[in-house]
Amino acid sequence: DQQVKQNSPSLSVQEGRISILNCDYTNSMFDYFLWYKKYPAEGPTFLISISSIKDKNEDGRFTVFLNKSAKHLSLHIVPSQPGDSAVYFCAATNYQLIWGAGTKLIIKP
């Protein structure tokens, strides 16, 4: 039973455009959500997070939106840059971190 789902295994976006990565969850007890970025042969690195008491959090080019009623969160990257090409994981927690399967983002020049 996947509690955190990233339904798009991959996404291709033109450089300079907006990248939108989506994540759905089933457990209404999750109270904190995180996005991580992973390059090949490296560990995941923390990108941005959001508490369940908020619906938006921004950090530079990265914005995370949370829709609790739909149990859905999304990560917006604008403008997309070649260095953003990586696998993006969403994760959710109330006491233990549960991870999605990841979305591979490819930024085309």
Partner 1 sequence: NAGVTQTPKFRVLKTGQSMTLLCAQDMNHEYMYWYRQDPGMGLRLIHYSVGEGTTAKGEVPDGYNVSRLKKQNFLLGLESAAPSQTSVYFCASSYGEAQPQHFGDGTRLSIL
Report the nearest approach of partner 1 to the CB of residue 11 (Å).
16
75 binds partner 1 (CB under 8 A): no
7 binds partner 1 (CB under 8 A): no
Report the residue from 22, 27, 74, 93 that binds partner 1 according to the rule CB under 8 A. Answer: 93
Return the SS3 of 1.
coil
Contacts of 30 (CB under 8 A, 6+ apart): 3, 52, 92, 93, 94, 98
101 binds partner 1 (CB under 8 A): yes
99 binds partner 1 (CB under 8 A): yes
Strands 4-5 and 19-25: antiparallel
95 binds partner 1 (CB under 8 A): yes
The letter for the amino acid at 6 is Q
